[in-house]
Amino acid sequence: MRKISATYIFPGNGNSVKNGILECHDDGTIINLTDNGGQLKEQQGLEYYSGILVPGFINAHCHLELSHLKNKISEKLGLSDFLGSVNRLRYSETENSGEFAEKADFRLWSEGTVAVGDISSTDETLETKSKSKIFYHTFVEAFGFLPSRAEKAFELACLTETMFRGKGLKASVVPHSPYSVSEPLFKKIAHKAKTENTILTIHNQESRAESRFFQNGDGPLAEHMIRNLKIDISGWNTGYKSSLKYILSFLPVENQLLLVHNTFTAERDLEELKKQRLHSNTFVVLCPNANLFIENQLPPVSLFREKRLNICIGTDSLASNHQLSVLAEIFTLQQNFPEIPLEELLQWSCLNGARALQIEDKSGSFEPGKKPGINLITEVDLQNLKLTGRSRVTKLA
């Protein structure tokens, strides 16, 4: 048994405890968290650290299979040119891609991440995931803009999902984005998700170009489809109020839904979301460093807080980020939204992510019986409870 104490313990599901004591088994299973009213008496075998103890981080949006594209794509291209670059490099830069995924998995683990919601379009990360200490829920993305491709795209995604499930890994088929999935493909994915009661996720309102494509049918996204993907978009209907409104009609309300990015989501979209979906199974995933990398824009986080949405944190891939660190994401949020308390940012990174991936029975908070991982954050401004540019994570369990 271990007894661990630190300047602060953030349990993930409530207020921080100053100089508390966390008792756990040697394998990291939590026994108890004691609040000593801020006073710490010397005890035999007590480990004491200067810093903050938090549960293991949950990264709710990543693409491990794009790890080999690190430093290959320029920043601030805008989504359409970014996607063009990914398409161009995705299969030409494949040398040692498995090794890159493995390295990324190791970095994720050593920087305190215990679970990842990972988008995959292939089975390339299967081996890495089956050996990993991290819990992965693989979201197998299906895409196909043309209705004629729906059957084939769906079959391919189901096949990939079967391969992950065959190795005992959690997986579900999901739509890539509002603009890359045809109506019949959406319907197939929705039917399967509803039947199996699986978790759904989708890239949502990641660029201004997406809104323009739905409203007017033109702009950079339309050009990307015509130029890079050589798709005939003449059959596309326009005049939609927003891409979110469009997709909500396809996504079953009963299913857990993780909306990723939401960089250009407006208040009227959130009203629609509230009208059409349950609060308890709807999550917004923020990937601020990728948003700055691609579009140089951050999502309306204050609005999401005001509307009391369930917020969690993702990193996106190394194609659009310099690291896969949950701590780096919340540091960016803190720098841009200084009014958000650190405690709240940590709840987004731990318990909210665990709830989104439906693993809150074992992860996300320091509650007896859970084995959530124990992270120590050092180099924190402990007077003001703020992260600093030097803040680091050490895994204690």
CB of 177 to Zn ion, least distance (A): 9
Site for Zn ion in 224-283 (CB under 5 A): none
**Contact flags string 353-392 toward Zn ion, x per CB under 5 A:** ----------------------------------------
β strands within the chain, DSSP E: 2-9, 17-18, 21-24, 30-34, 46-55, 57-62, 113-120, 135-142, 170-175, 200-204, 257-261, 282-286, 310-313, 374-378, 392-395
Q: Binding marks (x or -) toward Zn ion, 300..329, rule CB under 5 A?
A: ----------------x-------------
Residue nearest to Zn ion (CB): 316
For the bound state, the minimum distance from the C-beta of residue 66 to Zn ion, rounded and expressed in Å, comes to 9
Positive or negative: CA dihedral 397, 128, 201, 323: positive
Site for Zn ion in 22-51 (CB under 5 A): none
* Nearest CB to Zn ion, comparing residues 7 and 321: 321
Torsion, CA 105, CA 107, CA 109, CA 114, rounded to 10: -70
* Distance (Å) of CA 87 to CA 66, 127, 227, 282, 298: 11, 23, 12, 30, 24
170-175 and 135-142 strand pairing: parallel
Residues 217, 270 contacting (CB under 8 angstroms): no
How many residues lie near Zn ion (CB under 5 A)?
Answer: 1
Closest to Zn ion by CB, 12 vs 220, is 220
- In the complex, least distance from residue 158 CB atom to Zn ion, rounded to whole angstroms: 21
Cβ proximity to Zn ion: between 316 and 367 the closer is: 316
Residue 65 vs 316, nearer CB to Zn ion: 316
At how many degrees (to 10) do helices 183-196 and 150-166 cross?
30
- Residue 61 or 277: the one with the smaller Cβ distance to Zn ion is 61
Shortest distance, position 295 Cβ to Zn ion, whole Å: 13
CB of 118 to Zn ion, least distance (A): 10
State the Cα–Cα distance between residues 25 and 4, nearest whole angstrom.
11
Nearer Cβ to Zn ion (316/329): 316
Backbone angles phi, psi at 258, to 5 degrees: -110, 110
Binding footprint of Zn ion on the chain (CB under 5 A): 316
